[in-house]
Structure formats: structure tokens, C-alpha cells
């Protein structure tokens, strides 16, 4: 079993990945890369991370056999990897705890992060409260206005939220502001990046910290069924929960992997955020990946019912899986995700995040076509409490 691709220098996955950044950022990234090289094989670091994942976040998360849903669909057996049961309600904490502990080991006094809808910001602020570190979260002013409750959560946790008022005042501008801070202050500041994207070494670091999902799921399904699963299904925004599930199965060629992209309201540019389906290879935000690019050559505006999937690119490792055919990527529309959100809630009493509902929606289509003894593992990346208000507006007008 291989948990990791053989990565060439500076994090290339085939032609994807790399480190396309201005010289002033290279030093900051290399500083992180060097520290990570040491820490990844340091047993005391891995023990400490294991301790917090277990005692603080509640790992291992269950691999739950959704029997009623499976029966209703009349085909394959569906198992849910319950990342929604993590502390703070999603898989994001796996990565954030890992990076915050790295920051501590590296002697950083300050942690910074970017956030769009606020989920990654809240997870980072949580880890900083736990580890008693100063935390600054960059957030587009437009997003901060829409997500006032998450801004308040971060402040309660002791973080400072910086409203970014340049450009479109969204995630893109928040990333730019965080990178600028990082380039200037890397000797004292650690940048906690939220998904398996960005320049080397971040996609490797995030993949490794999220791979706990796939390692657990692999052992759990072998114990429950005595065989490997037929399919793995996960939603893809930047791609961290999906690569965390997929990577430990990379070498198991009989296991098929499906990444579910946000199909939004249609296939035209601007109507979705499905970079691996509709995008082209391009360099954005310091790395090469499939990306949705506008006529002016810059990342195009995107839309999705799920804020956490609303990103114009996808991680370099997914781009490589897509180019080589190791994984398949499909789109799920806003409407299908909204429907799956309700189907799972009623069938199993589990309210999924709208992001995770994209993976559930694909499983609803896939399972009936398969035999009863086949197995589909769906990554339930997060819980849907955060989305209840939005869904109420959508359903009741």
C-alpha cells in the first residue's frame, strides 16, 4: 500500500503543483518545507498530534453502515466516514491541529490564516485557543458581512479578524493578504493553509494530515467487511477531505475513486466551481492545477450552494489523478445537493454539510446501479447545522 505518490522535487504531481511564487515568498515556503521534512518523521511530533486528534477531536471517527439508506436505494452498501463528528464539525480540524502543532514546534509566536465562509478560520482560531497562540484571520469584507456569526466565533476564541477591503473583498483577496503577511513575517509567523492547494509544500502537508481519514477508513472497512471497498466518494472544493480519503487507497487499483465537484446551476463559466470538469491546466495562487479561467487569464468567478466548495481551482494531486485517470470527477448540481441533504437527513437522522451533500448526491445515483454486496464509502466531511438557516431560506423562500 502506498499512502503517497513519489513526489519529485518541490512537490510536482506530474506537471501539476510546484511553487510558482515571487522570490520574497520562496524563503517563507522553504522554511516551512524544511521544518516539515523533520517533523513528519519525528515520533514525538506524531505522538503529540495523535494525542490531540484522539483526546481533543474525538478520533477515530466511526465508519457507519447506513443500512436504511442502502436498503432504500436497493443496491450497494453505503458506509459513511463520519468526519462530521469531529470537534468543530468537520475534517478541517485534522489539518489545522497538525499545522498549529508545527507552528508551535517551529517557535512561531503568531499564526495567520485565510478564510472564505469562515469554517477554516474558526478551526484555526480553535487550535490557537487550545495551544495558546496569537491568531490573525484574514477575511474578505464581503464574506465577513455575510458570515457575522463565524466572525463572532473567531473573536470569542481570541482571534483577530482582519477585514480585507481590496478588490472583490472575498477569499481571493484574503489569500493575497495572508501571503503578503507571511512573506514579511515568516520568521515569527506560521501560515495555516486550509486545503490541499497552494504552492509546495502545502499540498503535501495538508494531504498527509488529512490522510488519517483514509487510513482509518481502510482499516475499518477491512474489519467490517473483510475486503476493500468498491468505491470512494468525496466532495472536492480545494480537495483536502477527498485526497485525505483517497491517498491511502492510491495503490489499491481495484478501488475506484470519485470526486464530486460543485456543478452549481449550469456548465457555463461563472455558474459552477467544477475546476476538474470544466477547467484547463493553469497556474493560479502559486501552483499548477486544473482551474476555471476567465477571458483575461485570471481565475474566474465561481458559484456553489456550498460556500466551502466555491474555489476556482482544485489541488495538484487531484489534477494529477484526473489527468492520469486514477480518479473520476463528476459534477453535482446545487439542486441535487439540496435534495441529498434532505434524503440523508430523513433516512439516517444525519444532517450533512451542503458540501458533503454533493458526495451523498452522487452515492444516491451510484448505489442503485451496483450489486448488494458492493461497498461505497462516502466521506461525510462535515455536519449541516451551519447550513440549516440557508436551507430554510431556499426551501421556504
Ligand X SMILES: *Cc1c(COP(=O)(O)O)cnc(C)c1O
Active site residues: 92, 114, 381
Smallest separation, CB 183 to ligand X (Å): 23
By CB under 6 A, name the one of 19, 57, 90, 220 that touches ligand X.
90
Helices (H) and strands (E) in the chain, counts: 16, 14
By CB under 6 A, name the one of 94, 115, 241, 304 that touches ligand X.
241
Nearest to ligand X by Cβ — which residue?
382
Q: How many residues bind ligand X (CB under 6 A)?
A: 18
Q: Is 118 in the site for ligand X (CB under 6 A)?
A: no
Encoded one letter per residue, x for contact with ligand X by CB under 6 A and - for no contact, window 174-213 reads ---------------------x------------------
CB 336 within 8 A of CB 359: no
Residues in 277-306 that interact with ligand X by CB under 6 A:
none
Pick between residue 118 and residue 229 the one whose CB is nearest to ligand X: 118
Pick between residue 70 and residue 304 the one whose CB is nearest to ligand X: 304
Smallest separation, CB 194 to ligand X (Å): 7
Q: Is 237 in the site for ligand X (CB under 6 A)?
A: yes
Q: Is 217 in the site for ligand X (CB under 6 A)?
A: no
The whole-angstrom separation of Cα 286 and Cα 30 is 14
Say how many CA atoms lie within 13 Å of 298 toward its Cβ: 3
Choose one: 24-32, 99-107, 138-146, 238-246; the region binding ligand X (CB under 6 A).
238-246
Pick between residue 316 and residue 382 the one whose CB is nearest to ligand X: 382
**Grid cell of 150 as nine digits:** 463565524
Cell 484526473 found at: 322
Q: Is 381 in the site for ligand X (CB under 6 A)?
A: yes
Q: Is 331 in the site for ligand X (CB under 6 A)?
A: no
Q: Which residues are CB-contacts of 130 (< 8 A; sequence separation ≥ 6)?
A: 52, 56, 100
Smallest separation, CB 380 to ligand X (Å): 8
Using left for φ > 0, alpha for ψ between -120 and 50, and beta otherwise, residue 264 falls in left
Go through 236-268 and write b for each residue having 16 or more CB atoms within 10 A of its CB, e for each that does not.
Answer: bbbbbbbbbbbbbbbeeeebbbbbbbbbbeeee
Smallest separation, CB 333 to ligand X (Å): 17
Q: Is 309 in the site for ligand X (CB under 6 A)?
A: yes
Instruction: With H, G, I as helix, E, B as strand and everything else as coil, classify residue 209.
Output: helix
Q: Is 391 in the site for ligand X (CB under 6 A)?
A: no
Q: Is 312 in the site for ligand X (CB under 6 A)?
A: no
Pick between residue 60 and residue 121 the one whose CB is nearest to ligand X: 121
Q: Is 264 in the site for ligand X (CB under 6 A)?
A: no
Q: Before 89, cis peptide (omega within 30)?
A: no
Helix residue spans in the chain (DSSP H): 23-39, 43-55, 67-73, 92-105, 119-131, 141-146, 148-156, 171-185, 202-210, 212-225, 240-246, 275-278, 316-324, 334-348, 354-366, 388-396
284 pairs with which residues across the strands? Answer: 287
Pick between residue 83 and residue 173 the one whose CB is nearest to ligand X: 83
Pick between residue 97 and residue 370 the one whose CB is nearest to ligand X: 97
Q: Is 318 in the site for ligand X (CB under 6 A)?
A: no
Q: Before 60, cis peptide (omega within 30)?
A: yes
114 pairs with which residues across the strands? Answer: 138
Pick between residue 77 and residue 90 the one whose CB is nearest to ligand X: 90
Cell 502537508 found at: 205
CB 276 within 8 A of CB 259: yes
By CB under 6 A, name the one of 39, 128, 245, 353 that touches ligand X.
353
By CB under 6 A, name the one of 70, 316, 382, 387 that touches ligand X.
382
Instruction: Give the binding site for ligand X (CB under 6 A).
Output: 90, 92, 119, 195, 235-241, 308-309, 353, 355-356, 381-382
Amino acid at each position: 500500500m502506498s499512502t503517497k505518490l513519489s513526489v519529485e522535487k518541490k512537490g510536482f504531481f506530474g506537471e501539476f503543483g510546484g511553487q510558482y511564487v515571487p522570490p520574497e515568498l520562496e524563503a517563507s515556503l522553504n522554511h516551512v518545507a524544511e521544518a516539515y521534512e523533520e517533523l513528519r518523521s519525528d515520533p514525538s511530533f506524531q505522538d503529540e498530534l495523535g494525542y490531540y486528534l484522539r483526546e481533543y477531536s474525538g478520533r477515530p471517527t466511526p465508519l457507519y453502515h447506513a443500512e436504511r439508506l442502502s436498503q432504500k436505494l436497493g443496491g450497494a452498501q453505503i458506509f459513511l466516514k463520519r468526519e462530521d463528528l469531529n470537534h468543530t464539525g468537520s475534517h478541517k480540524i485534522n489539518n489545522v491541529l497538525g499545522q498549529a502543532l508545527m507552528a508551535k514546534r517551529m517557535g512561531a509566536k503568531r499564526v495567520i490564516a485565510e478564510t472564505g465562509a469562515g469554517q477554516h478560520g474558526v478551526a484555526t482560531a480553535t487550535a490557537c485557543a487550545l495551544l495558546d497562540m496569537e491568531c490573525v484571520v484574514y477575511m474578505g469584507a464581503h464574506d465577513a458581512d455575510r458570515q457575522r456569526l463565524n466572525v463572532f466565533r473567531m473573536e470569542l476564541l481570541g482571534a483577530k479578524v482582519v477585514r480585507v477591503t481590496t478588490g472583490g473583498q472575498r477569499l481571493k483577496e484574503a489569500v493575497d493578504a495572508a501571503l503578503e503577511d507571511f512573506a514579511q513575517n515568516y520568521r515569527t509567523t506560521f501560515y495555516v493553509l486550509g486545503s490541499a492547494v497552494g504552492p509546495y509544500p502545502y499540498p503535501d502537508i495538508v494531504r498527509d494530515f488529512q490522510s488519517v481519514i483514509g487510513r482509518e477508513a481502510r482499516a475499518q472497512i477491512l474489519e467490517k467487511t473483510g475486503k476493500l471497498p468498491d468505491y470512494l466518494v468525496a466532495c472536492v472544493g480545494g480537495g483536502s477531505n477527498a485526497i485525505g480519503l483517497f491517498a491511502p487507497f492510491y495503490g489499491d487499483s481495484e478501488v475506484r475513486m470519485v470526486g464530486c465537484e460543485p456543478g452549481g446551476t449550469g456548465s457555463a463559466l461563472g455558474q459552477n466551481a467544477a475546476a476538474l470538469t470544466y477547467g484547463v491546466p493553469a497556474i493560479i495562487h502559486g501552483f499548477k492545477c486544473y482551474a476555471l479561467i476567465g477571458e483575461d487569464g485570471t481565475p474566474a468567478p465561481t458559484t456553489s450552494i456550498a460556500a466551502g466548495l466555491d474555489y476556482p481551482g482544485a489541488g495538484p494531486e487531484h489534477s494529477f489523478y484526473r489527468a492520469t485517470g486514477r480518479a473520476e470527477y463528476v459534477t453535482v448540481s446545487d439542486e441535487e445537493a439540496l435534495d441529498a441533504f434532505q434524503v440523508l437527513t430523513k433516512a439516517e437522522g444525519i444532517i450533512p454539510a451542503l458540501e458533503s451533500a454533493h458526495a451523498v448526491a452522487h452515492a444516491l445515483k451510484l448505489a442503485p446501479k451496483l450489486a448488494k454486496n458492493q461497498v461505497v464509502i462516502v466521506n461525510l466531511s462535515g455536519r449541516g447545522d451551519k447550513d440549516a438557516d440557508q436551507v430554510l431560506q431556499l426551501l421556504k423562500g
